[in-house]
Structure 1
Amino acid sequence: MRILIFNWRDIKNPAGGGAEILTHEMAKRWVLSGHTVHQFSSRFPDSKKQEIIDGVTFIRQGKWWTVHFYAFFYYIKNKNLFDVIVDEVHWFPFFAAVYAPRKTIALTCEVANKLIFRIFAYPLALGFLLIEKIYLFLYKKVPTMVISPSTRDDLVANNHIKENIVVLPMGLTVPKNIKPSNKESIPTIISVGRLNKQKGTLDTIEAFGLVHKKISNSVLWLVGSGEKTFMREVNLRIKTLGLENAVKVWGFVSEKEKFTLLSKAHILISASVQEGWGLTIPEAGLMSTPSVVYNIAGFRDIIVQRKTGVLVDTNPKDLAKEVVQLLENKTTYEIMQNKSLKHAQGYSWDATAAESIKFIKRNSTI
């Protein structure tokens, strides 16, 4: 099959995350299975307009807010070259189902819904919500791959046909020669991901401030980058809480360095307000680092409560309370370490790729 993927970012984009890892891990395996795969995504600083990575051909045009328009014109010009379009939904899709309805398979990571109002100012949020409602109506019969039962349930609640949805098993990508390191000598908490409102960065800092009052030698590592305007808020919050010497902002790091930091930290925390599938939780688990996170869709699908991690109510006080309890109880912590490791070892991208290509073939018109 000749597969075209539409995704606003790709595996090399510094702003990319778990969705881009998922996409690439499937795509390169589809290539190994004999399919041809092209991915159309936005440009980023110093990016190439076209390149081949792991057998996948990447075409880059436009910015993240214009790539959808460029993708439309690219397809119209090259429509005879492709049998299937995998249309990835991040807030909203590329609307390929409108101009290529018989070829479109959706890949939906999450349904934003009311979350939009927590991220954007009112007029803009209302516009995004309207677009989402329109797309959900247009895509309710489109064959759709999702990454968690929570996302499937959200789509069904919005009148998507359940029989047209498949929940893909997830996997983990671990750099070669990565081995668990010794934990830091002082209590070290880590947060991994983009630094922004959606990821709950300010709640994370506030929660750590409460932890630091109880455990004075504890430190927080923020691993990830953010927009300049938001980073000013981050730095101001750190300064206001008097945490300048206890919080380290690592910025964007390589996958190898990310796993090394996860291995050295004691606990992964996240105050994210919504996730399609919390990839960093099993990544941390693979490094014997348990997680304490907000009880949200996407995390509930991964955490086995108080066995592989802890789900808490969505407020910094509860997040801090559970972190402190776990750090102060060595026996509970070591048991959770072992269970989080065992749980993480069950994930495989091979299973993800196999299930996804089977679904694509079953719903393809060729």
Structure 2
Amino acid sequence: MRIVIITTRDLRNPLAGSGERYTHEVARRWAAAGHEVRMFAQEVPGLPPEEDHDGVRVERAGTRRTAHREARRWYAETRPAPDLVLDALDPRPSGCPAWVTDAPVVALALRIRRPGGPVGRWRLRGYRTVPTLAVSASAGAALLAHGLTDVTVVPAGTGSDLLPAARRAPVPTVAYAGPHPREAVRAHQLLRARIRDAQLWVFDPGRHADRLAGPGVRVFAESDRAEGIARAHAQVLTAATGDWPLAVDEAAACGTPTIGYDRPGLRDAIPAARGVLTAPSAAALADGLLHHLPRWAAHPAAGGWAGGALGWDAVAEAVLAAATTGR
């Protein structure tokens, strides 16, 4: 098959994240299986306009403002016509259904946040009848509620191997990774009233780093996250994602359970990895930690376990099957 992927960023973009990782891992396996895979993404200073990346032909043009126009121009010059166009919707849809007329279009919705809001309604209005792939039941439900009519849930993917538990912290310790730690910090403050030696380790807090001083709170760089999650007794997640937060599966592979809010994305991934959901409030999170953290700290796991995400080989097969079935 000839497959074209239209996306905003490829994996080598400095702003690339889990969505770009997902797209690349799927695409490279399609290429390895003998498919011709071409990917269009916006230009990146210092990177060539064209290159082969793990068997995928990546072609770059346009800035954040002009990339979608460049994608349309680039596609018009793509011959022969592909057998499939995969339109990655994150962070902004490219509008492929409006201008791809010679090949089937399938949308890939990897990080759908608030699709029902004013911006989401405008951006997704051209996708109501377009076959769309979502990586969690939460995301699929949100897209259906918004008015999309052809949504299929495909598996999340992870390359995390099961790992032996690291040497755990000497006192009950919770880890949080991300730029919005306020809820985690508030829950920790409430928890400290009952467990005085409880620690909160925050990784990569961004601009919030200078606001996190307080009893039992330590701040670390993103480069320390993997080891820190493995040494903590629990991971806390609070932000709705809509997709499948791989941090849950990565922590489980280290033997670290996740406790987090019952919100889109989290409500799919956390139970699948033997974690705990709480109501979306700092007080409820503190109560959940009070109930579970002492046991997790006293009897940490001797090894890791699998979450609900599958290996990338299985994911690539599932996505291609979903994208081509009945198209």
The interval holding the TM-score normalised by the smaller chain is 0.7 to 0.9
2:128 matches 1:170 = no
Q: Using the TM superposition, give the Cα deviation of residue 110 of structure 1 relative to its aligned residue in structure 2, in angstroms.
A: 4.5
Instruction: Quote the Cα distance in structure 2 between the aligned partners of 1:189 and 1:224.
Output: 15
Superposed structure 1 runs of 4+ greater than 6 Å apart: none
Instruction: Quote the Cα distance in structure 1 between the aligned partners of 2:263 and 2:147.
Output: 22
Instruction: Quote the Cα distance in structure 1 between the aligned partners of 2:318 and 2:296.
Output: 40
2:203 matches 1:235 = no
Query: Which runs of no fewer than 5 residues in structure 2 stay unpaired?
Result: none
Higher-helix-fraction structure: 1
Instruction: Quote the Cα distance in structure 2 between the aligned partners of 1:3 and 1:328.
Output: 51
Instruction: Quote the Cα distance in structure 1 between the aligned partners of 2:324 and 2:203.
Output: 38
In the alignment, what sits opposite 2:290? Answer: 324
Q: Using the TM superposition, give the Cα deviation of residue 247 of structure 1 relative to its aligned residue in structure 2, in angstroms.
A: 2.0
The number of residues matched between the two structures is 326
In the alignment, what sits opposite 1:156? Answer: 144
Q: Is 2:160–2:249's contact at 8 Å kept on the other side of the alignment?
A: no
Once the two structures are superposed, residues 268-294 of structure 1 have per-residue CA deviations (whole angstroms, 9 ceiling, x without a partner) of 111103331121111111111000111
2:310 matches 1:347 = yes
1:183 counterpart (161, 168, 171): 168
Instruction: Quote the Cα distance in structure 2 between the aligned partners of 1:12 and 1:290.
Output: 31
Distance 1:90 1:332, change over 3 A: farther
Once the two structures are superposed, residues 119-173 of structure 1 have per-residue CA deviations (whole angstroms, 9 ceiling, x without a partner) of xxxxxxxxxx24x223433211111111011122122222222xx3221122211
Instruction: Quote the Cα distance in structure 2 between the aligned partners of 1:237 and 1:114.
Output: 31
Q: TM-score, normalised by structure 2?
A: 0.86
Q: Is 2:139–2:242's contact at 8 Å kept on the other side of the alignment?
A: no
Q: Is 2:38–2:56's contact at 8 Å kept on the other side of the alignment?
A: yes
Q: Is 1:188–1:265's contact at 8 Å kept on the other side of the alignment?
A: yes
* Match runs of 1:51-62 below 5 Å: 51-62=51-62
Query: Which runs of no fewer than 5 residues in structure 1 stay unpaired?
Result: 117-128
Instruction: Quote the Cα distance in structure 2 between the aligned partners of 1:237 and 1:210.
Output: 17
Q: Using the TM superposition, give the Cα deviation of residue 100 of structure 1 relative to its aligned residue in structure 2, in angstroms.
A: 0.5
- Alpha-carbon RMSD: 3.0
Once the two structures are superposed, residues 25-73 of structure 1 have per-residue CA deviations (whole angstroms, 9 ceiling, x without a partner) of 2111111111122222234564443332221222233444543233222
Instruction: Quote the Cα distance in structure 2 between the aligned partners of 1:273 and 1:330.
Output: 25
In the alignment, what sits opposite 1:221? Answer: 201
Instruction: Quote the Cα distance in structure 1 between the aligned partners of 2:88 and 2:22.
Output: 11
Instruction: Quote the Cα distance in structure 1 between the aligned partners of 2:15 and 2:205.
Output: 8
Distance 1:211 1:295, change over 3 A: same
Which range moves more in the overlay, 208-217 or 15-24?
208-217
Q: Is 2:156–2:308's contact at 8 Å kept on the other side of the alignment?
A: no
Instruction: Quote the Cα distance in structure 2 between the aligned partners of 1:266 and 1:95.
Output: 44
Instruction: Quote the Cα distance in structure 1 between the aligned partners of 2:140 and 2:232.
Output: 33
Identity of aligned residues (%): 25
Once the two structures are superposed, residues 225-269 of structure 1 have per-residue CA deviations (whole angstroms, 9 ceiling, x without a partner) of 64xxxx0xx134314xx35x7221313x3xxx6433322222111
Distance 1:249 1:46, change over 3 A: farther
Distance 1:103 1:115, change over 3 A: closer
* Match runs of 1:243-254 below 5 Å: 246-251=217-222, 253=223
Q: TM-score, normalised by structure 1?
A: 0.78
